[in-house]
C-alpha cells in the first residue's frame, strides 16, 4: 500500500506524467460526450427494444464505445478504422511492396502504411453508415430519410468515425496506452451499469446457481488472462567476451523473455471485426425487396446465428489472428541481427539464420498456448449464453477479456513511466 501511495505521489508531482494522465482522462470525457449526441429522428423506445433482442448489434456496440446503442454521431466508433487496419495488414501478405513498406522502411514506412489505413476508413465508414441507416429505417427505429437527409447523415457518421480515429491516435501520442483499445475499454466500462441493472431486473431465484457459476467463471477467466499475459518463456543468451586494453567485457549470461501472448487483445478485436462485417452486410441485404437476396441472406444469417457454428468459427478466427498478429509484430530476424551486433548468442545455436529459426520455432510453440487460451476464453461465454439463454453473458465475456487486457497494459505502461523517472 505504501509503495502504491509513493507511486501515486510521483505521478502527480511529475509534470510530464501528470499531463499524460490528464490528457487521457480529457480525451475519454470528450469521447463519452460525443457518444451522447444523437443523429436526428430516433424512436428511443424502438431503439432500446431492437438492441435488447439483437446480440449482433450488442457486439458492434463494443467497438462504438456505446455510441451505436444511442445512434450518436460517433455511432460507428473505431470499427471502420479497425477494419481498415485489418485489411491493410492482410494485404501485406499478398502484396510484397506493402510488406516491404511496413517492415523494412522504418518509421517513415509505418507512417505511410498508417496513412493508407486512415484513407480506407472513410469508404468503410460510409458503407457501414449507409447499411445501418437502411437497416434502422426498415425496423422503424429512425424515421424515413430522403436522399439529401440520407447523404447528410452519412457525412455526419463518416466525420464522426474520422474524429474518433483522430482522438484515438492523439491518445496514443500524447497520453498513455493504445488509444483505440482505450476507447473500446471506455465504452465497455460506461455500459457496465446498464448491464448489471439488466441482470438485476431479470433476476430469478432459480437462476442463482447460474449467476454464481458465471461469477466463478469471470474470476477464473480474469486470473487466466493475467497469468497468460504476464507469462514468459526465457531463452538463455550469453554475451561473448571482448578484450579492450586491459579490461575484459561480456561473458555475461542472461535470457531473452518471449511472451506467451505476444498479440495481446488484438486477435479478439480482429476476429470480432471479421465476424461482424458479413453479418452487417447480410442483415442489410435481408431487408432488400429482391427475393433472391432475401433468401440468400436468410440462409447465411441462419448459419451465422447458429450458436455452435458461430463459436467454432470465432475460436478459429481468434486462433489464426493470434498467429497472424504475432508474425506481423514480432520479427525473429531483427532480434537475431540485434543479438549478433551486440556480440550475444544462444548457447548451442549458430548466430544468424539459425538463431532466427530457433527463436521463430520457440515463438510458434508458445503462441499455440496463448492462441488456444484466447480462443477458449472468447467462445466460453457464448457457449454459456447458448446453454443458459442469458443474453448478457455472451457480450460480458468478450468485454471482460478486453477490459482486463487493456488494464494490464495500461498499468504496465504507467509503471514503466514511473520507473524511468525514479532512476
Q: What is the pLDDT of residues 47-76, one digit of tens each?
A: 666 666 555 566 666 666 666 766 788 888
Residue 394 predicted with pLDDT over 70: no
Q: Do domains 1-200 and 202-414 have the same CATH topology?
A: yes
What is the per-residue pLDDT across 251-293, written as a single tens digit (0 to 9) for each?
677 888 888 888 777 787 778 777 777 776 776 676 667 777 6
Task: Tell me the DSSP string of 274-301.
Answer: HHHHHHHHHHHHTTSS-HHHHHHHHHHH
Half-sphere exposure (Cβ direction) of 276: Cα atoms closer than 13 Å: 25
Separation CA 282–CA 284 (nearest Å): 5
Give the pLDDT of residue 42.
65
Whole-structure pTM value? 0.75
Report CA 381 to chain centroid distance, whole Å: 17
Cα–Cα distance, 85 to 107 (Å, whole number) = 17
Q: Determine the pLDDT at residue 191.
A: 72
C-alpha 29/C-alpha 24 separation (Å) is 9
- Mean per-residue pLDDT, 382-397: 62
CB neighbour class for 38 (10 Å; exposed up to 12, middle 13-18, buried from 19): middle
- In eight-state DSSP terms, residue 43 is -
Q: Mean pLDDT throughout 135-147?
A: 73
Pick the closest to residue 139 from 40, 48, 208 (CA basis). 48
- Range in 31-35, 177-181, 377-381 the model is least confident about: 377-381
Report DSSP state, residue 68: G
**What's the average model confidence in pLDDT over 75-87?**
82
The C-alpha R_g of the chain, in whole angstroms, comes to 24
Give Cβ neighbours of residue 319 (< 8 Å, ≥ 6 apart): 267, 371, 372, 374, 375
Is residue 79 pLDDT above 70, yes or no? yes
Which secondary-structure segment (H or E) carries 367?
helix 353-388
Mean pLDDT: which of 94-103, 184-193, 229-238 is highest? Answer: 229-238
pLDDT higher at 31 or 253: 31
Q: Which among 75, 57, 80, 52 is positioned nearest to 65, based on CA atoms?
A: 75
pLDDT value of residue 86: 79
Determine the average pLDDT of the residues in 167-172: 88
Domain boundaries, given as residue ranges, for the chain: 1-200, 202-414
Task: Return the CATH number of 202-414, one of 1.10.3720.10, 3.40.309.10, 1.10.287.70, 1.10.3370.10.
Answer: 1.10.3370.10
Binning pLDDT at 50, 70 and 90, where does residue 127 land? confident
CATH topology of domain 1-200: Preprotein translocase SecY subunit (1.10.3370)
pLDDT band at 353; cut points 50, 70, 90: confident
**Beta carbons within 8 Å of 203's beta carbon, 6+ residues apart:** 211
Backbone phi, psi, residue 247, to 5°: -110, 145
Amino acid at each position: 500500500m505504501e509503495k502504491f501511495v509513493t507511486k501515486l505521489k510521483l505521478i502527480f508531482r511529475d509534470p510530464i506524467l501528470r499531463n499524460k494522465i490528464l490528457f487521457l482522462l480529457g480525451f475519454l470525457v470528450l469521447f463519452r460526450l460525443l457518444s451522447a449526441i444523437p443523429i436526428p429522428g430516433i424512436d428511443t423506445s424502438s431503439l432500446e427494444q431492437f438492441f435488447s433482442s439483437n446480440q449482433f448489434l450488442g457486439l458492434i456496440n463494443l467497438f462504438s464505445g456505446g455510441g451505436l446503442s444511442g445512434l450518436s454521431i460517433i455511432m460507428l466508433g473505431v470499427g471502420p478504422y479497425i477494419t481498415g487496419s485489418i485489411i491493410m495488414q492482410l494485404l501485406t501478405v499478398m502484396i510484397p511492396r506493402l510488406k516491404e513498406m511496413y517492415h523494412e522502411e522504418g518509421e517513415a514506412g509505418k507512417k505511410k502504411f498508417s496513412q493508407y489505413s486512415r484513407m480506407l476508413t472513410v469508404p468503410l465508414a460510409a458503407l457501414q453508415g449507409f447499411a445501418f441507416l437502411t437497416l434502422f429505417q426498415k425496423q422503424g427505429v429512425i424515421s424515413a430519410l430522403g436522399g439529401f437527409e440520407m447523404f447528410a447523415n452519412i457525412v455526419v457518421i463518416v466525420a464522426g468515425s474520422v474524429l474518433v480515429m483522430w482522438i484515438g491516435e492523439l491518445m496514443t501520442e500524447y497520453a498513455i496506452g493504445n488509444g483505440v483499445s482505450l476507447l473500446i475499454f471506455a465504452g465497455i466500462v460506461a455500459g457496465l451499469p446498464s448491464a448489471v441493472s439488466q441482470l438485476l431486473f431479470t433476476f430469478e431465484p432459480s437462476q442463482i446457481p447460474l449467476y454464481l457459476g458465471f461469477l466463478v467463471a469471470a474470476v477464473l477467466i480474469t486470473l487466466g488472462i493475467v497469468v497468460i499475459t504476464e507469462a514468459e518463456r526465457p531463452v538463455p543468451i550469453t554475451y561473448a567476451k571482448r578484450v579492450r586494453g586491459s579490461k575484459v567485457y561480456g561473458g555475461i549470461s542472461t535470457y531473452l523473455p518471449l511472451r506467451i501472448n505476444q498479440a495481446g487483445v488484438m486477435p479478439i478485436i480482429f476476429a470480432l471485426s471479421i465476424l461482424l462485417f458479413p453479418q452487417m452486410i447480410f442483415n442489410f441485404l435481408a431487408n432488400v425487396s429482391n427475393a433472391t437476396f432475401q433468401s440468400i441472406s436468410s440462409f447465411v444469417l441462419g448459419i451465422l446465428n447458429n450458436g455452435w457454428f458461430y463459436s467454432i468459427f470465432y475460436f478459429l478466427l481468434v486462433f489464426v489472428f493470434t498467429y497472424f498478429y504475432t508474425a506481423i509484430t514480432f520479427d525473429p530476424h531483427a532480434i537475431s541481427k540485434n543479438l549478433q551486433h551486440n556480440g550475444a548468442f544462444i548457447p548451442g545455436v549458430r548466430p544468424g539464420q539459425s538463431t532466427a529459426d530457433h527463436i521463430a520455432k520457440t515463438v510458434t510453440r508458445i503462441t499455440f498456448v496463448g492462441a488456444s487460451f484466447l480462443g477458449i476464453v472468447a467462445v466460453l461465454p457464448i457457449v454459456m449464453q447458448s446453454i443458459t439463454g442469458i443474453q448478457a453473458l455472451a457480450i460480458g465475456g468478450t468485454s471482460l477479456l478486453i477490459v482486463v487486457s487493456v488494464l494490464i497494459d495500461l498499468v504496465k505502461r504507467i509503471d514503466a513511466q514511473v520507473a524511468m523517472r525514479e532512476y
